[in-house]
């Protein structure tokens, strides 16, 4: 299964799990080389915690952890940071590939 959501502590509800799955599906749709997305949702005292671990073909693994009071905003922020890191890795690979032929 390409999307896995882990809930820690019972205070995180199933609607939040569904929201995290939808957000992870957007990452899979945007980056076709992503093999697996693991989302860990947790509640520590009064803060929600979301961690996105993205496994991409090859060697790229992106792990992002965020804390906030609002559970949906923490999921969105963590997913946005993961997307930003994936885009940065993609751009570096494209640039390296383009520069490879011009260094003679």
- The secondary element (H helix, E strand) that includes residue 60 is none
**Helical H runs in the chain?**
14-30, 71-100
Domain ranges of the chain: 3-99
The predicted structure's pLDDT at residue 103: 55
Pick the CATH number of 3-99 from 3.30.565.10, 3.30.160.100, 2.120.10.30, 3.50.50.60: 3.30.160.100
Is the pTM higher than 0.85? The answer reads no
Of the chain, the end-to-end C-alpha distance in Å amounts to 44
pLDDT for 11: 63
The pLDDT tens digits for 46-92 are 888 999 999 988 766 778 888 888 989 999 999 999 999 898 888 88
């Amino acid at each position: 299964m390409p999307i896995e959501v882990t809930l820690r502590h019972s205070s995180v509800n199933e609607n939040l799990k569904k929201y995290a799955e939808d957000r992870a599906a957007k990452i899979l749709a945007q980056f076709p080389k992503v093999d697996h997305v693991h989302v860990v949702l947790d509640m520590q005292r009064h803060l929600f915690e979301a961690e996105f671990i993205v496994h991409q073909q090859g060697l790229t693994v992106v792990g992002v952890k965020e804390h906030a009071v609002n559970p949906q905003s923490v999921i969105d922020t963590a997913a946005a940071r993961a997307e930003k890191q994936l885009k940065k890795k993609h751009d570096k690979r494209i640039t390296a590939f383009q520069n490879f032929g011009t260094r003679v």
